[in-house]
Structure 1
């Protein structure tokens, strides 16, 4: 989209300069006026071409969850203050810290100006705005509660950001230890073992089993490293291709919930996400059948999505929410009991919020427990590696010492 450099006056007469993206100078002037500015001069903007600009174009910044949190909260504040959508998007696009998000919002404005509604305009950028995000915005448009929807989206995404940070923090130390182990094994195989191998060969006779294992590993690393790299690459891309397929993705998502140590965290996080999203959609006045369709696609797990959509089919047949949830086979006793109580009392959305808060606390505890569980496992693996190295190096020396005696 073309860009224009402008000079304008604010409502207090202060001089303002900047750059705005628009199809034409007339549209740029209209956007400035809608933003509360009085344009004085608008001219075509020629971006400086250079290595820095080329690198920015080649590697545009990725839009993170935190950017969407900030965008949602700013939209809530602006809309609550009565600012028109186009004016709000213009201000956010011009002042966005993330250049990619700024360009995206400029495209959304152009779509709005062509006659589309906000949800349809956001849906043109599926890599930025998820199906769930777009669906809630559409619900807010039809119900007249768009500002409240943006507030709820900001709160939900903020919890997602905090959960991701906690998981990364819990896995930081194990990742560092695993990297150190791999680096140590590589260095030992390439530089240390070959030096000892010549001494071991001069001893004659059969070497102990740990020593033979170390020598074989070293020889494989030095003599066949090309095959090892090719094999590793084939395995990596093969698994990635299988997981990207429909059947492989479904099995992988199902397996994730059963992984040792990590599976419990993912399961409880999924229950918390389902409960909070379901409550959020119901609170917006969406029918249960539609709500389950929207929430199921927002859980980022095709196995759970299939189970949730089976609940929708059961409700369409006239069954209760608690009964279909029990038949789905993915919810624990607490969720089922709370759903049953919520149906009887008419407070399903409120009880779902309580369930989500409970499982958020459980996820925090499970993440702390995950870190405490991984550390002993890594310690055992490191001890086994050190033991193998010690046995492989010192056993032949012990045999040599006995022969010398």
Structure 2
């Protein structure tokens, strides 16, 4: 038996988590579903006593976002062409090159042969198929429009993948620059400043304040280097563990929305996911209340997810979507007006799609201009670092030169 840590939601939509022994993730997922818990994540706990456990973890294949995107598009094409699900999955399994994806598809086929629905089979793979994915597939099965559901999922996932790729590309250059600056500062602090400090001792004169500060920092770094490295590593690990906890993750997600330059873009990206997800669920025939439960899990921000949960509870109390959205306090007046029009006309799904388009365009523009907005700040930081180092290192030399020129005169 292996030990797994799971996180999911019960029938009331409440978040639950725990530690459970099972023979495999699939068997645990089946057990959780039988007890009324929909699993979201199932992660195996690797103990130090397990021989080769670390090697197995490192070698474990993962299904990438690109592969799921391609799988979704191919499923739409095959189902649109009238190919039965079993034949479509068999063809995808033969053409897929990733061992993990082939294993997942084989699991889907086995569960279908055992009499389960496709959505039930996908729910047994929570690390591969999201809650939104499974819920919409289930709706597609009930309505007979499974091909349309896969197409909508493809467009949604394509936007998510494109946005992440653009953000990664925009942050690549600033990241390289910052790493280079940190390496340069460490090199100057450990090797350059101590050499100048030995020269300055021969001056037998009081050094400028900035120079004394730099020399003091350099001497402290050199003499306590291992301690500083250990403290930094401890801080990084501590912050990482805190951010993985529910309170830490919530506070960090709330703080991200207030960060300069990127905070507004993070908010719009989360709201775009909310609006697009709600639009897709409503267009697929999912009731608003159930759609809110699904969408709250895909906004990728715990702070926004809590606001969506508040909206769901308000709708349960017979409040309108407009009232709950206004109470949430995260939507702009223009978006609230579109929600109001959507409720009045009965076209909430269409209006939410327009809201998603609006936010997605703004996110695209924000990502495209992210590098241009970060560059001036980066230049200011680099200029300040160079100025401090230059003044601290060369001010004593300039002072000595002025003194020498005065004596020579």
Query: Given the two structures, how large is their TM-score scaled by the length of structure 1?
Result: 0.83
- Whole-angstrom distance in 1 between the partners of 2:58 and 2:237: 24
- Whole-angstrom distance in 2 between the partners of 1:164 and 1:183: 27
Asked if structure 2 preserves the Cα contact closer than 8 Å seen for 1:250 and 1:303, the reply is yes
Counting only pairs closer than 5 Å after superposition, residues 237-386 of structure 1 correspond to structure 2 as: 237-386=237-386
Counting only pairs closer than 5 Å after superposition, residues 121-200 of structure 1 correspond to structure 2 as: 121-200=121-200
Alignment pair present for 1:115 and 2:115: yes
Q: Secondary structure at the match of 2:286?
A: coil
- Whole-angstrom distance in 1 between the partners of 2:353 and 2:335: 11
Superposed CA offset, 1:352-377 (max 9, x none): 11111111111122223432221111
Mean alpha-carbon deviation: is it higher for 59-68 or for 353-362?
Answer: 59-68
Cα–Cα, structure 1 residues 62 and 204, in superposed 2: closer, same or farther, change >3 Å?
farther
Asked if structure 2 preserves the Cα contact closer than 8 Å seen for 1:243 and 1:252, the reply is yes
Alpha-carbon RMSD across the aligned residues, in angstroms, is 1.9
Partner residue, 2:400: 400
- Whole-angstrom distance in 2 between the partners of 1:370 and 1:212: 38
- Whole-angstrom distance in 2 between the partners of 1:219 and 1:71: 58
Alignment pair present for 1:84 and 2:91: no
Partner residue, 1:214: 214
- Whole-angstrom distance in 2 between the partners of 1:213 and 1:105: 62
Instruction: Structure 1: give runs of 5+ residues left out of the alignment.
Output: 1-54
Q: Secondary structure at the match of 2:382?
A: helix
Aligned length: 352
Q: Secondary structure at the match of 1:62?
A: coil
**How far 1:287 sits from its partner (Å)?**
0.7
Counting only pairs closer than 5 Å after superposition, residues 14-93 of structure 1 correspond to structure 2 as: 58-93=58-93
- Whole-angstrom distance in 1 between the partners of 2:204 and 2:108: 76
Structure number with bigger Rg: 1
Asked if structure 2 preserves the Cα contact closer than 8 Å seen for 1:119 and 1:138, the reply is yes
Asked if structure 2 preserves the Cα contact closer than 8 Å seen for 1:257 and 1:266, the reply is yes
Alignment pair present for 1:202 and 2:191: no
Asked if structure 2 preserves the Cα contact closer than 8 Å seen for 1:257 and 1:267, the reply is yes
Superposed CA offset, 1:165-214 (max 9, x none): 21112212211210110111122122211221110112123221221222
Asked if structure 2 preserves the Cα contact closer than 8 Å seen for 1:311 and 1:328, the reply is yes
**How far 1:98 sits from its partner (Å)?**
2.6
- Whole-angstrom distance in 2 between the partners of 1:57 and 1:384: 44
Partner residue, 1:226: 226
Superposed CA offset, 1:75-107 (max 9, x none): 111112222222211221221133322222222
Asked if structure 1 preserves the Cα contact closer than 8 Å seen for 2:253 and 2:302, the reply is yes
Mean alpha-carbon deviation: is it higher for 68-77 or for 117-126?
Answer: 117-126
Query: Given the two structures, how large is their TM-score scaled by the length of structure 2?
Result: 0.82
